[in-house]
Amino acid sequence: YYRDYLVYFDAHIATHTALSTFQTHFSRLLPGCIGSSLHPLVHLALGLDFGHSYVISEALAYACIAYSSIGEMVDAQSGTKLAGTGEVDPREILEMVKVDKRFDGGFDGAFGAKLKMLAKSRGALVKVYMDEWNVDAKYPRFSNQLIPHFTLPPSSAATTSDAIAEKLHSLAHLTTLLLTATSTHTTVPSIPTTSPLSTSPNVPHFLGISPPGSPRSTTSLLSPPKLDIHLAALFSSLYAVNTILPLLPAHADKVRLLKLQWLATLCIYIVQGRPTIREDMLPEGVDIANEYANWEKCIKTVVEGNDPHAPVILRGLVKAEGKYGRRDADGIYLRAASVLADFVDREGDWDHKGARRLLSCICFIDPSFSYIPCHCTEPLCHPPPRWDWGSCTIHSPIHNRLSIRDCRVVQLVLVSQKVNLPPVPVRHSSSTLNL
């Protein structure tokens, strides 16, 4: 039906105006714009920003065919709060989501299928977390029913324009971190040496990684990051929201659009594996001095690159710097732009599948291979006391490394050609492999 929708919106724009067509139809389409990784919003904002009526009609038609019912949560009645009293920062809510075991279990399939699975199996739980960040009121934790003698100021009975601006600022900071500080890395071990805590020469110990019982090393043996394409879409859509909000005539629709962006942040964070936010992944100012120390270099690299997604993202970062740069003294937007420029310069691959929590778990092997003590920084990593080799499967042979996984929580990297490991049978399909 895409062409039919397109013909309809083109005709409506020809009869009225592009802005009138947008304002007439967008309120009804708003909840479903969460579909297709929020790209209908991005297209719509570009059309409105540059005044291209044909892009606006394309975006509205796109919103019709990509409509996702999970966005209808923005119009559902709010439920019970989790955190009690006090305003909760959106990053705090994501941290609660990260450790909530009710979200455990993978979401397989294409992105749209994962969203549908989330809505069907855990929709009510998502709604609880969505309501935890109250967009409907400036003082969300108090009411005259709970405190009879407390009267809310009239200007703060509902979300004001200033309150919306503050919440957009919070989302801007959070979404920048989701874009660049949750990157997927592949563990790259160095040549193993004998573990300093073992008498056996056969126990691999990877340089730069703290052995059991030693202070944690700050050295990271990680490959360059793969940015998540769906988390990147969150950043692009946030600045689409910034463009669209002033053009909405009804204040209620402004609140609904902000709620939709927050709901999308929750849903995409969950289906993409609830990645850990690590601000240390962002380069410090001194680290980018020689490469991407200024916006001009970042812009030049991205514009001259071949990545079709990066220019829209960089444009959002530039706008964020202009809007919030003086308030965010940590230079987060330029630092994020340097990560993006480096990603484009080395022609990095976008990650579509999301975080694999097992990638951040580094284990050390007992010489007898009877158990693997896990020294993992992930809060949810609780492996069994003894390792059952029979339940292991070969995940992916890459060069001379074999990745072995068990129930999401353990990732073991062996460099089998560098150490004399005893053969251990590992079940793989119908055959038996030896390490």
pLDDT, tens digit, 9 for 90 and up, residues 320-376: 999 998 887 788 999 999 999 999 999 888 988 776 543 333 333 333 333 333 333
Query: What pLDDT shows up at residue 152?
Result: 37
Query: What pLDDT shows up at residue 161?
Result: 83
Q: Are residues 168 and 235 in the same domain?
A: yes
Does residue 96 lie within any of the structural domains? yes
Q: Are residues 127 and 31 in the same domain?
A: no
Phi and psi at 42, nearest 5°, equal -65, -45
Q: Are residues 50 and 104 in the same domain?
A: no
CA distances from 358 to 38, 176, 293 (A): 28, 24, 34
Does residue 99 lie within any of the structural domains? yes
pTM, entire model: 0.70
Query: What pLDDT shows up at residue 82?
Result: 57
The residues near 17 (Cβ < 8 Å, ≥ 6 apart) are none
Instruction: Name the burial class of residue 205, with classes exposed (0-12), middle (13-18) and buried (19+) by CB atoms within 10 angstroms of its CB.
Output: buried
Q: Is 131 within 8 Å of 79 (Cβ atoms)? A: yes
Rounded-to-10 torsion of CA 331, 333, 334, 339: 120
Handedness of CA 259, 263, 266, 272 (dihedral sign): negative
Which residue, 345, 363, 381, sits at the end of a domain? 345
Look at the chain and report how many structural domains it folds into. 2
Does residue 161 lie within any of the structural domains? yes
3-state secondary structure of 406: strand
In 3D space, the residue among 404, 390, 394, 240 whose CA is nearest the CA of residue 313 turns out to be 240
Q: Which tokens go with 271?
A: 């289906």
Q: Are residues 164 and 28 in the same domain?
A: no
Does residue 371 lie within any of the structural domains? no
Which residue, 67, 98, 115, sits at the end of a domain? 67
b or e along 61-76 (b: 16 or more beta carbons within 10 Å of the residue's beta carbon)? bbbbebbbebbbbbee
Q: Are residues 161 and 247 in the same domain?
A: yes
The whole domain housing 63 covers 2-67
Q: Are residues 58 and 137 in the same domain?
A: no
Q: Are residues 255 and 285 in the same domain?
A: yes
How distant is the alpha carbon of residue 37 from its chain centre? 12
Q: Are residues 46 and 101 in the same domain?
A: no
Query: What pLDDT shows up at residue 223?
Result: 58
Q: Is 232 within 8 Å of 302 (Cβ atoms)? A: no
Does residue 382 lie within any of the structural domains? no
Which residue, 327, 345, 363, sits at the end of a domain? 345
Does residue 91 lie within any of the structural domains? yes
Does residue 406 lie within any of the structural domains? no
Q: Are residues 263 and 334 in the same domain?
A: yes
Q: Are residues 39 and 128 in the same domain?
A: no
All residue ranges of the chain with pLDDT < 70 are: 78-86, 136-159, 183-225, 285-290, 355-435
3-state secondary structure of 331: coil
CA distances from 90 to 129, 174, 223, 405 (A): 10, 8, 29, 32
Query: What pLDDT shows up at residue 126?
Result: 96
Q: Are residues 26 and 160 in the same domain?
A: no
Q: Are residues 235 and 164 in the same domain?
A: yes
Does residue 93 lie within any of the structural domains? yes
Query: What pLDDT shows up at residue 281?
Result: 77
Please give the DSSP secondary-structure letter assigned to residue 78: P
How distant is the alpha carbon of residue 122 from its chain centre? 18
Handedness of CA 254, 255, 261, 263 (dihedral sign): negative
How distant is the alpha carbon of residue 160 from its chain centre? 28
